[in-house]
Amino acid sequence: MAYYKSRSMTSQIQQKEHELNLYLREGDGNKAKNILGGDDESKFGYMGVVDLAVYDGCGDDAKVVARAQGQQLGVGSPAGTILDCFSLAFTDKRFNKSSLKVLGEMGDDDGECAIIGGTGEFAYAQGVVTFKKIKTESGSCMTKKLHVESTSGHDTPPDADAQKTPRRNPERKRRIAFDKPPQKRRSGSDYME
């Protein structure tokens, strides 16, 4: 018997599209720590952690709406490629305790990173964060404009006329568990045939 088994499921998914324009500025109470230095020129082997403020605008009156919290890894030996893996954790009232999970190369130049998940309002998110280095009027710190485009979705209830749509369908797990009679529990060695 194989160690993997799958079966088809039918589920109604209601998707929501999100588009946000955010700004990441160096300085301004940000935290970054170098854990491992890596090679001098290429930064290969570098490891660091960051906690950066994300704003709703690029002016002096902009408010912090999220934090980019995660790690950076030096992964490209000739080009000095840095892989960023961070959670865009929202702190504002609208999306409080929601987050987007972001993965990609966010160097000094323009580019994009993948959205590989999310929580809260952004549960099951996927999409892209494009970023562009911009000049600010003060010119005192580097600013990146983050353009977020994502979709997120969740199961809809069996009753299409329901007024409230739960984040996850609580009946889903129960339906899966009782579709088939219980099977004998296996030990780890049973999966390695």
Task: Dump strand ranges (E) for the chain.
Answer: 13-25, 31-36, 47-55, 64-76, 81-90, 99-105, 111-119, 126-134, 143-155
Rounded CA-CA distance 53/162 in Å is 39
Rounded CA-CA distance 16/49 in Å is 31
- Greatest Cα-to-Cα distance within the chain, rounded to the nearest angstrom: 68
Q: Check the CA dihedral 173-175-179-180 and report its sign.
A: positive
pLDDT classification of 78: cutoffs 50, 70, 90: low
Residues 6+ apart with CB under 8 A from 47: 34, 35, 36, 38, 71, 72, 73, 74
Rounded CA-CA distance 30/130 in Å is 21
Rounded CA-CA distance 150/127 in Å is 4
Task: Kindly report, residue by residue over 152-167, the tens digit of the pLDDT.
Answer: 886 555 544 444 444 5
DSSP assignment of 53-83 equals EEES-SSTT--EEEEEEEEEEEEETTTTEEE
Question: Residue 70's pLDDT is what?
Answer: 94
Question: Residue 35's pLDDT is what?
Answer: 82
* Greater pLDDT, 136 or 22: 22
CA dihedral 153, 155, 159, 161 (to 10 degrees): -10
pLDDT classification of 191: cutoffs 50, 70, 90: very low
CA dihedral 118, 122, 127, 130 (to 10 degrees): -90
> Does 5 have pLDDT greater than 60?
yes
